[in-house]
Amino acid sequence: MPGHRTKGFCASAVALVLCAVLAGCGGSGESVGGGKVVLRYTWWGNPDRAERTEQAVALFEKQHPDIRVQTSFSGYDAYKQKLAVQASGGDAPDVMQLDYRQIDQYASGGVLFDLSQQKTVLRTSEIDAGLLDTGRVDGVQYAVPQGRGTETVVYDVKAWKDSGVPLPTQGWTWDDWAEAMRALKERTGKPGATDPGWSEDSFEVWLRGQGKSLYTEDGQLGFTADDLTRWWTFTDKLRREGAVSSAEQTTQVDGTVENTPLGRGTALSDTNWDAPSSGYLAIVASGVALAPMPSNEDGTPGQYFKPSMFLGVGASTSHPKAAAQLIDFLINDDEAAKILGATRGIPVNETIRKETAPLLKDFDRTISDYQASLEGKLKDPPQAPPSGDNALQTTFQRDYDQVSYERMSPREAAENYVTEAKAELRS
Amino acid sequence: MTTTAIPAESQRATPPAPKRRPKREREGAAWVFLSPWVLGAVVLTLLPMAVSLYLSFTDYNLFDPPRWVGLRNYTQMFTEDPRYWRSVVTTLTYVVIAVPLQLALALVVALALKSMKHGKAFYRSAFYAPSLLGASMSIALVWRAVFNDGGTVDNLLGTGGWVNKPGWALLAVALLTVWQFGAPMVIFLAGLQQIPAELYEAAAVDGAGKWRQFLSVTVPMLSPVLFFNLVLQTIQAFQVFTPAFAISAGKGGPADSTLVYTMYLYDRGFVASHMGYASAMAWVLLLVIGIVTVVLFRTSRSWVFYASEGDR
């Protein structure tokens, strides 16, 4: 009967379509052929970090033949956005690299897995208790710090030396720094540094040097429009003098070392975190060195040791154990530590840190020595920033754009920022 | 007379009716073949639209459940957010620059192609190619490099990088769109070829020169096509995103100069995690595009000429 045939045809076609749709939805994180567990591991970073991460992951796969790790990485800005979308869609990766600024929001949003459930696999005894605590929200360990980082002035050694301007020294002040920038500009014709006015991180160092902080303990803004006005007036003046990069150069900064003025060869130094500074080696032919961030005029340092990044597990993962194994490997394995070096900051595992410090080579050694030179001199890190801060980082840069392109005065821009920040932190 | 002619003609044109299957059965088959699209439309378009409309009345940060705030997103947008208005102005500026430039270029090239004797196919493809490539991120990135300082344009014109100058960046974005004039061009070309040659001959006999012929024959005969292209390109221009995103590295900079509407929407949604606000912005955009389209249709009555009107 034709009627029957059509019905059957109908049903099978509908089934087919449904299958296709459902298959499209499922899939992620499932086991594939041969019973292998597939983990998705995502992180941000530069090509140098990518190469070492791939090597470490290959070794992990060799030790765990039943686990396959799919890695993916991008620049920080792109990563931040992509992860937020994945996480909210319930599609967070099995293992993800997280920033200090993300922990609070992700943990309270239910995106992260409670790592204490995998205690047997993931050992944390070798991590400094204070540092480990930074991955804790409301008493639950949602993430494990993966490295320790601090901010630095990274500079083109040869060009700086050739200019005859005295090299930066321990304990230099913001005034010393500004003078050096002016002298570099005068002698080399190039601006001395990236205009630090765009960077919330640099502002934080300057602010902390004066005993203030970005946020108060209850997650409100820790500074006033006056403070920010002073900072932006300071940097804007240097920009007008040509001592730091022009607006056109500064606006291209996007979190990758390639797009900083130093990376593009149009300035002699940059303020950055120490770990990603290894990326400059590939693009600044004559080599780079690290100097401490300038301190306040009375000698108070503003920089601090910060858990450079964390590893967390997606709450929706089907393989929490395998995910915990991967984290354990990345943090506690000797071989992995040798491969990874200091690309994500100095290792957090204390035994490994002591063992590997003398073995570190090249730039890893530079970072390790740099951190050692600051040991005991810095103040305690601030608590993890409130979740609104995520958006404010971008706002900060945008508002400073208005200053450097001379569309707003430092005061107007600072007031703009403070208004927006207050609204962001309230919601 | 015409009213009776139509059914008579259509009857003649109908082939002898085949043996028909029962109506139900035919409907069933139709649904089977339609189902992927119906499903797609419901699951991928209607449902998300409904959700977005709901979200536009909430405060939703992607992580916590949406919180109902009534019209707050809308009032905030119109009364408390200077950057919202900046994005509106930027978008309007963009539309006013890009659409006329693009249509003019498309028409000029179409006219040139029409009068070509040889190699028409080659040039048609060559001019159409950017439209196929241009929407991609990679071309936009090339564009950024070309207009960056130290890029090709900088070297040729010595103007410095356009993409780093607040006064110029939007022009670089617009040029990327203008360059993709292939689609309207092909439509213009088809329209031009529809104009009966006798009209030109008659005009020539009456002593009309090329320019007069263009104004009195080409433009009116082409006006429906021109109108079609105008509506389509305007709607598209309001939604510009990729070129602005790529050229400003996703920031709408420098100094918010390329912060077009959809970029700001993206910024609110995906950077600042205010999905409710972004949804509200999307609905306002939909409404505005709707209004602009209606206005265009209204004004079209006075300048679009349909050949069939001549019969009346």
B210-227 pLDDT per residue, tens: 888 888 888 888 888 999
pTM recorded for the entire structure:
0.76
Per the rule left: phi > 0, alpha: psi between -120 and 50, beta: everything else, A166 is: beta
Side by side, the strands of the sheet bearing A37-44 are A67-74, A37-44, A95-98, A306-313, A143-149
Residues of A with CB under 8 A from a CB of B: 2-3, 6-7, 9-10, 13-14, 17, 21, 77-78, 81, 84-85, 87-88, 105-106, 108-111, 247-249, 251-252, 254, 259, 387, 390-391, 394, 397-398, 401-402, 404-405, 407, 424, 427
CB contact under 8 A, B249 and A254: yes
CB contact under 8 A, B62 and A84: yes
pLDDT of residue A142: 92
Instruction: Tell whether B59 lies on the interface with A, counting CB pairs under 8 A.
Output: yes
Among residues A286, A291, A294, A292, which one has the least CA distance to residue A162? A286
Query: How many Cα atoms occupy the beta-carbon half-sphere of B282 within 13 Å?
Result: 21
pLDDT of residue B307: 65
Measured CA to CA in angstroms, residue B117 lies from A40, B114, B187 at distances of 58, 8, 19
Interface test with A, best of B153, B251, B277 (most A CBs within 10 A): B251
Decide: helix, strand or coil at residue B61: coil
pLDDT of residue B309: 57
Contact predicate A96/A42, CB 8 Å: yes
Angle at A25 between CA B34 and CA B267, to 5 degrees: 100
Other Cβ atoms less than 10 A from the Cβ of A380: the count is 8
- The residue in chain A having the minimum alpha-carbon distance to the alpha carbon of residue B164 is A248
Q: Which comes out higher in pLDDT, residue B3 or B201?
A: B201
pLDDT of residue B310: 52
Instruction: Tell whether B130 lies on the interface with A, counting CB pairs under 8 A.
Output: no
Choose the closest CB to B272 out of A247, A391, A404. A391
Q: In chain B, pLDDT over 90 holds for what percent of residues?
A: 30
- Rounded CA separation B6/A109 (Å): 65
Q: What is the largest CA-CA distance in chain B?
A: 75
Length of chain A: 427
Decide: helix, strand or coil at residue A202: helix
Distance, first Cα to last Cα, chain A: 64
Instruction: Tell whether B25 lies on the interface with A, counting CB pairs under 8 A.
Output: yes
- Rounded CA separation B311/B216 (Å): 19
- Find the mean pLDDT for residues B188-195: 88
User: In which residue ranges of chain A is pLDDT below 50?
Assistant: 1-6, 8-33
Among residues A306, A268, A316, which one has the least CA distance to residue A288? A268
- Rounded CA separation B58/B280 (Å): 9
Instruction: Tell whether B274 lies on the interface with A, counting CB pairs under 8 A.
Output: yes
Q: Which comes out higher in pLDDT, residue B302 or B151?
A: B302
- What residues of chain B lie within 8 A of the CB of A2, using their CB? 21, 25
Q: Dihedrals φ, ψ of B112, to 5°?
A: -65, -45
One-letter amino acid at B230 equals L
CB contact under 8 A, A251 and B164: yes
Give the residues across from A155 on adjacent strands.
A269, A289
Q: Dihedrals φ, ψ of A44, to 5°?
A: -110, 155
Give the residues across from A272 on adjacent strands.
A152
- Tokens 């070492």 found at: A52
Run of H or E residues at A141: strand A140-141
Domain boundaries, chain B: 82-301
Residues 6+ apart with CB under 8 A from A330: A56, A60, A146, A311, A336, A340
- Rounded CA separation B53/B281 (Å): 10
pLDDT of residue B308: 63
Contact predicate A238/A175, CB 8 Å: no
Other Cβ atoms less than 10 A from the Cβ of A34: the count is 8
pLDDT of residue A235: 94
Q: Does domain B82-301 have CATH number 1.10.3720.10?
A: yes
Structure tokens at B241: 């995103």
pLDDT of residue A131: 81
Instruction: Tell whether B35 lies on the interface with A, counting CB pairs under 8 A.
Output: yes
Scanning B135-218, the segments in alpha helix (DSSP H) are: 137-147, 152-157, 166-178, 182-194, 197-205, 210-213
pLDDT of residue B145: 79
In angstroms, what separates the C-alpha of A380 from chain B's closest C-alpha?
A: 29
Average pLDDT across chain B, whole number: 83
Angle at B69 between CA B63 and CA B74, to 5 degrees: 105
Contact predicate A321/A180, CB 8 Å: no
Distance of CA A146 to the CA centre of its chain: 11
Choose the closest CB to B35 out of A17, A87, A108. A17
Choose the closest CB to B270 out of A85, A249, A252. A85
In angstroms, what separates the C-alpha of A360 from chain B's closest C-alpha?
A: 35
Structure tokens at B13: 């044109």
CB contact under 8 A, A401 and B43: no
Q: Dihedrals φ, ψ of A302, to 5°?
A: -105, -20
- What residues of chain B lie within 8 A of the CB of A88, using their CB? 62-63
- Rounded CA separation B229/B222 (Å): 11
State how beta strands B67-68 and B58-59 pair. Answer: antiparallel
- Tokens 């080696």 found at: A281
pLDDT of residue A310: 92
Query: How many Cα atoms occupy the beta-carbon half-sphere of B166 within 13 Å?
Result: 17
pLDDT of residue A26: 39
pLDDT in tens, B26-64: 788 888 899 999 999 999 999 999 999 999 999 888 777
CB contact under 8 A, A390 and B273: yes
- The residue in chain A having the minimum alpha-carbon distance to the alpha carbon of residue B162 is A248
CB contact under 8 A, A402 and B29: no
pLDDT of residue A307: 84
Length of chain B: 312
pLDDT in tens, B118-167: 877 888 888 888 777 766 777 777 777 777 776 777 777 766 677 777 87
Choose the closest CB to A13 out of B35, B252, B273. B35
Interface test with B, best of A86, A250, A427 (most B CBs within 10 A): A427
